[in-house]
Structure 1
Amino acid sequence: MSTMRLTKLIIMRMFMLMMCVWASLEGMAQANAIKMADSDMKRNPEAWMIDFSKALKWNYCHGLVMQSILQVWDKTGNTKYYDYVYDYADTMVNTDGTIKTYNALDYNIDRVNTGKILFPILNKTGEQRFVTAIELQREQMRTHPRTSGGSFWHKKVYPHQVWLDGLYMAGPFLAQYAKENNEQALFTDVALQITDVRKHLYDPKTGLYFHGWDESKQQRWSDPNTGLSPHFWSRSIGWYMMSIVDVLDFLPANHTSRPEIIKILQELAASLEKFRDPETGMWYQVTDLGYREGNYLESTGSIMFIYAWIKGAQKGYLNENYLEKGKKAYDQYLAQFVKTEEDGTCSITDCCSVAGLGGEKNYRDGSFEYYISEPIRDNDPKAVGPFIMVSLLLNR
């Protein structure tokens, strides 16, 4: 190859790297957040389209991504991000404060997460309908069914069951509500959700948490002695970790459960280090079985772990070395999962689309074979939202 041709090739590759903004340097993390937000808004011109939706829906994925987009607005001051989220709230929340597609008596804990986006919108607009909408979701959790120990059921249609996913769906919303409304007893209830999971779903052998627990021990997926599901699913553990670091934003500094919750986070952060893929630094769909055929490196759980490491270290809950570990893992995440499309948008690959337990149709038995059988897709909101948020954390 001639020197001139080699020089041209080097220049071309450098230009391509510059055009693709996925920079591993900390100072470029905000650019990563902005580009991912812009890309997802382009993919979903209306926010109700998030999560590949074909019709209006009030659900946790919408709240997760729009929370991250509101954080981009807060960081940049660019009102297009606020307007995108406000348009969704304006569409979904009726003039009397009721919410389209939402029924509190369904007792579906997933629906509560989206309520978080209403706090900043209410603060900016002062519209009474958003007060009413927030209160509707708070009211659901006043009467939401519980286990004998006080943990919320995942849904009414999943009686006596606690899933790790549900900790994120209600906990941060309720903690923020408690702070905004000075409801002190609610802080203790939120803390109980975290500590009760430690009591029932923790595995001392691995330091990980099982996906679900059936107090009644009636589900086919549950162990007849413990009620636990059989495997560790990375995203469910990620939801639990994110719920902890986000709840701690609001839990009073002198709350009696705060030291215990921070200890739970520290314990889990350390346990997860043992299960990283040594080559890529990422985590597998079934957390502890990376060696089994069919298991794969999964992007939603991985970014949730990175978020919890980085935020936990920045807030002082974790040793400061987790900040450096988190930064390195973030760079590895970019290399493993993030790509630029031909149209200039950016994507996240290898996302598990969904996973659950039980159900009436196509019963989900919690087996290894089940977890690896669920569809894998790009740009799932459970990766996009945390990626934007952790990118903004790195640009503090």
Structure 2
Amino acid sequence: MSIPYKTDSLHLINMVIEQLKELKGGAVDETCPIGIISMDNWEWPQGVGLFSLYSFYKTTGRRDILDYIRTWFDQQMAKGLPDKNINTMCPMLTLTYLYEEVGDERYLNLCKEWAHYAMNELPRTTEHGFQHVVSGHSNPGEIWDDTLYMTVLFVTRMGILLQDDTYIQESIRQFLVHLKYLTDPVSGLFFHGWTFEGHHHFANALWGRGNAWYTAGLIDYLDMAVIPEGVRWFLLSSLERQVKSLAELQSESGLWHTLLNDPSSYLETSASAGFAYGILKAVRTGLLDETYKSVALKALAAVKEQITEDGIVQGVSYGTGMGRTLQEYRDIPICPMAYGQSMALLLLVESLNHEIAV
């Protein structure tokens, strides 16, 4: 039986999905060793894309979406996977769910292989943080806020899939270590990264999309795992403090700047979609106070304004490495990206829970 969501919302979602599938490189000169624009590649943007598609499948039961996800993984496995690192781990999150849906043992074996790497072979920083190793760069001694979404969610899922609490405890440690070193004590927002070798936050950038990985990722993390109540309280208090600052920094348009506290930096859609998704879902599930819903709805309207009639999400910044100056963040080019489509898709799918037709 079909679910009676509003037709215009489903039409917009379908357009965003089609553009996600069809994105190709060429909009900008790719600086990442593995292209991060096209869904033909295996990297972190494609991982975010797959998770957003799976979210839509679980909400609507659309089997064609599940078939696309399965075909994507089968083709990538036949082609051969890239080296394991923090970012290439991201697609594995959706593979854990795909295994549960279809029961293909190849998927489980691959998940076990990559989870073993994360737990036993991935380089660690001081205090056992996951070193932010990416394609082409080992980044010794560095932790970045991206890691929680790209790798820790997958580690969490493996603890559930294998019924092994070691993975859950590791996920807790990673959240706590990252929050310990990345939280700005003044604003409650998060710095992009920290180096244990230089003992600094690089450019002290309160980077939008990096913050959005926490806002969006934490709510899904708490959906996945049962963790000690005291830890849960701590993670949620960090979220509420972040969201309080986000509400103060939201632009009149409803979007946020790519440097959250810098109005001279451009407004950025993918971060804004991630914030709105996390806040809206947190309010719906009772994890944030209802007063924050207006912030999310304002952002939702603004994100929709950034989607063209044929479903391309505009105002999205290209992949962003660790900036040594704030100007580097201001200069990141803007172009359609898989994660731009995906963060908007997550938000649009969540919004369906608030507008079921009656």
| TM > 0.5 | yes
CA displacement 1:339-359 (0-9 Å, x = unmatched): 21xxxx2111111112112xx
Counterpart-to-counterpart distance in 1, 2:312 and 2:35: 14
Q: Write the letter of the residue equivalent to 1:339.
A: T
CA displacement 1:194-240 (0-9 Å, x = unmatched): 222221111122222111100010xxxxxxx5354422111111112
Match of residue 175, structure 1, among 156, 160, 175? 156
Query: Are residues 1:118 and 2:118 paired?
Result: no
Match of residue 328, structure 1, among 278, 282, 298? 298
1:8 maps to none
Q: Retained in 1: the 8 A contact 2:54–2:65?
A: yes
Answer 1 or 2: higher relative contact order, Cα 8 Å, separation at least 6. 2
Counterpart-to-counterpart distance in 1, 2:21 and 2:201: 41
CA displacement 1:77-120 (0-9 Å, x = unmatched): 332222221111111224xxxx823333xxx2001110022123
2:37 maps to 52
Is the partner of 2:129 in helix, strand or coil?
coil
Q: Retained in 2: the 8 A contact 1:93–1:133?
A: no
Counterpart-to-counterpart distance in 2, 1:34 and 1:352: 22
Task: Give matches, 1:40-79, under 5 Å.
Answer: 40-43=20-23, 51-53=36-38, 57-79=41-63
| Distance verdict in 2 for CA 1:238–1:227, change over 3 Å | closer
| Distance verdict in 2 for CA 1:347–1:142, change over 3 Å | same
2:333 maps to 375
Q: Retained in 1: the 8 A contact 2:283–2:292?
A: yes
| Distance verdict in 2 for CA 1:226–1:62, change over 3 Å | closer
Task: Give matches, 1:13-52, under 5 Å.
Answer: 28-43=8-23, 51-52=36-37
2:28 maps to none
Query: Are residues 1:339 and 2:298 paired?
Result: no
Counterpart-to-counterpart distance in 1, 2:202 and 2:181: 8
Report the identity percentage.
20
TM-score in terms of structure 2 length = 0.87
Counterpart-to-counterpart distance in 2, 1:226 and 1:370: 17
1:251 maps to 225
CA displacement 1:229-280 (0-9 Å, x = unmatched): 4221111111122221121112215454111111111111111112111x20
1:261 maps to 235
1:287 maps to 260
Is the partner of 2:223 in helix, strand or coil?
coil
| Distance verdict in 2 for CA 1:121–1:142, change over 3 Å | same
1:296 maps to 266
113-122 vs 162-171, which moves further: 113-122
Q: Write the letter of the residue equivalent to 1:121.
A: L
TM-score in terms of structure 1 length = 0.79
Larger Rg: 1
| Distance verdict in 2 for CA 1:26–1:274, change over 3 Å | farther
| Distance verdict in 2 for CA 1:168–1:76, change over 3 Å | same
Match of residue 226, structure 1, among 183, 197, 200? 200
Counterpart-to-counterpart distance in 2, 1:304 and 1:72: 16
CA displacement 1:358-379 (0-9 Å, x = unmatched): xxxxxx52x12111112111x3
Q: Retained in 1: the 8 A contact 2:35–2:41?
A: no
Number of aligned residues: 336
CA displacement 1:312-360 (0-9 Å, x = unmatched): 112221112223331232012222x1221xxxx2111111112112xxx
| Distance verdict in 2 for CA 1:311–1:26, change over 3 Å | farther
Q: Retained in 1: the 8 A contact 2:259–2:329?
A: yes
Counterpart-to-counterpart distance in 2, 1:123 and 1:206: 40
Q: Retained in 1: the 8 A contact 2:212–2:271?
A: yes
1:361 maps to none
